[in-house]
Structure 1
Amino acid sequence: MFTQEKESQVAPHIRTFHPRRGRIGAGRAQALARLWPQYGYEIEPGGPPFDAAALFGRRAPLVIEIGCGMGEAVAAMAASDPGRDYLGVDVHTPGLANLLATAERGALRNVRAARGDAVELLRDLLAPDSLDAVHVFFPDPWPKARHHKRRIIRSDVVALIRGRLRPDGTLRCATDWAPYAARMLEVLTADAGLSNRHAGYAPRPGDRPQTKFERRALAAGRPVFDLEFTRR
């Protein structure tokens, strides 16, 4: 296990996601059955350390997206960035199936999918300094105060993410929930090992694709907040 004293404070029983059951159509089910053995990764705490070179078939800078949903952002960013490898992490099997099917249609060789709890992946399976970037786009805001401890961007998880980033590696976040955006900015700024690349929120990055989720948020009148921090 790749643990450090401060990181051990992460409570493994506090989930940062809603367990969901989603129907998977025949096409995605077929894609999953065909592609998962080669391009999928099951997050299993207690198993061997994550081996990116074995999963991707090469050694390249690695980017992970936590909570990749249907995989739109992962696939689009990987397509425009072939020099880096992209791992989409989620618990939602239909979304991961869609990600792999999208990667197959686009002949993307630098995309893989991981199923399970991203916190367990960070805490138990990823080596320190092994990530070029971590993306957390539109995570569950857990708006009720009693659920704030479940947010993915909280101090203990941020410490885990920072420890897995290489020096000068990047943590990028986006949310359409203004109170969560303010809290994200506060938590990230408070981490002495991270540096904000902007004065407050970041301008919308041109390489982050606008997903269906973001378009719905904008249509509903909710502004989108981006943040970009680097490891010192």
Structure 2
Amino acid sequence: MNDERTPEPGAEAAGEASQDTLYKRGIKSYVLRAGRMTGAQTRGLEEVWPRLGLTLDGGRLDLDALFGRRARRVVEIGFGMGASLIEQAETHPDTDFIGIEVHAPGVGKLLDEADKRGLTNLRVFREDAVRVLDECFPADSIDTLQLFFPDPWPKKKHHKRRIVQPAFVELIRRRLKVGGTLHMATDWENYAEHMAEVMAAAPGYRNTATAETAPYVPRPEFRPLTKFEARGERLGHGVWDLIFARSE
């Protein structure tokens, strides 16, 4: 995840043919664990959520009405404790951001910080990302979908729990605008290879990497360097970015 490694981003692992199959299988790419809530996190959930929180019950989103304007729209799945997403929203006030995360402390922290900074271009789901994308986002509505440092599930027997699977990236493709991008980053080389393999076989995408760096791209300046990533760099850990654009 973005700021600290938490169990997993908010999404079911996509595996075989359809999202209905996924729901029935019940295979999730995250594990919910109880955690202590700070006062600020509790305040975020109790006081700020009614203004910035979104739920599945709201149904299909009218994004222009939600934000009161027409703007570029970025969705981030699994924002952890939210520092990176807060930085992006503050740095790019002309862009609207929607974060999806299942873990209460991270959601509460993000909401508290967004309120303290007076951010109006940020909304949050505390739901499973597959359901959010399937039920709440219209087709062709997202400019960029970000998936930064998802749980790699390193054991081979757990690879089916990885969020990046064919059905999942096809769902994302249908929600992206033509030309919109899916931006992934991971610090596990095996997972990066898995991502590249899934995307190479996915119809309707093109890799934005150059021949010199393919299938990966250098870390874009617009992706904030998180504390988690900076610590990894100091330890000599690699990070791999992949950016694929919807071509059709």
TM-score, normalization by structure 1: 0.91
**Cα pair 2:186 2:241 within 8 Å, conserved:** yes
1:16 aligns with 2:16: no
| Distance in 2 of aligned mates of 1:9 and 1:101 | 35
Displacement after TM superposition at 1:7 (Å): 4.0
Displacement after TM superposition at 1:134 (Å): 0.2
| Distance in 2 of aligned mates of 1:179 and 1:224 | 11
1:28 aligns with 2:41: yes
> Could you list the runs of 5+ residues in structure 1 that have no partner in the other structure?
1-5
For the residue of structure 2 that corresponds to 1:19, the secondary structure is: coil
Match of 2:89 among 78, 81, 93: 78
Q: In structure 2, what residue type is equivalent to 1:216?
A: R
Q: In structure 2, what residue type is equivalent to 1:35?
A: V
> Could you list the runs of 5+ residues in structure 2 that have no partner in the other structure?
1-16
Q: Deviations over 1:32-69 (max 9, x none)?
A: 2111001011235xx62233334333332321100011
| Distance in 2 of aligned mates of 1:100 and 1:153 | 27
Map of 1:166 onto structure 2:
177
**Cα pair 1:196 1:228 within 8 Å, conserved:** yes
1:90 aligns with 2:67: no
1:185 aligns with 2:200: no
1:215 aligns with 2:233: no
Displacement after TM superposition at 1:18 (Å): 1.4
For the residue of structure 2 that corresponds to 1:169, the secondary structure is: strand
Map of 2:240 onto structure 1:
225
Displacement after TM superposition at 1:152 (Å): 1.1
| Distance in 1 of aligned mates of 2:175 and 2:152 | 23
**Cα pair 1:154 1:187 within 8 Å, conserved:** yes
Q: In structure 2, what residue type is equivalent to 1:127?
A: P
TM-score, normalization by structure 2: 0.85
| Distance in 2 of aligned mates of 1:207 and 1:91 | 25
**How many residues of Structure 1 are paired with residues of Structure 2 in the alignment?**
225
Match of 2:70 among 33, 55, 59: 59
For the residue of structure 1 that corresponds to 2:22, the secondary structure is: coil
Aligned ranges for residues 101-180 of structure 1 at < 5 Å?
Answer: 101-180=112-191
CA, structure 1 residues 55+96, in 2 after alignment: closer, same or farther (shift >3 Å)? Answer: farther
**Cα pair 1:39 1:55 within 8 Å, conserved:** no
Q: Deviations over 1:106-148 (max 9, x none)?
A: 2221111110100111122221111111000000001111211
For the aligned residue pairs, the C-alpha RMSD in angstroms reads: 1.6
**Cα pair 2:140 2:177 within 8 Å, conserved:** yes
Q: Deviations over 1:137-183 (max 9, x none)?
A: 00000111121111111111011011100000011000000100011
| Distance in 2 of aligned mates of 1:22 and 1:209 | 26
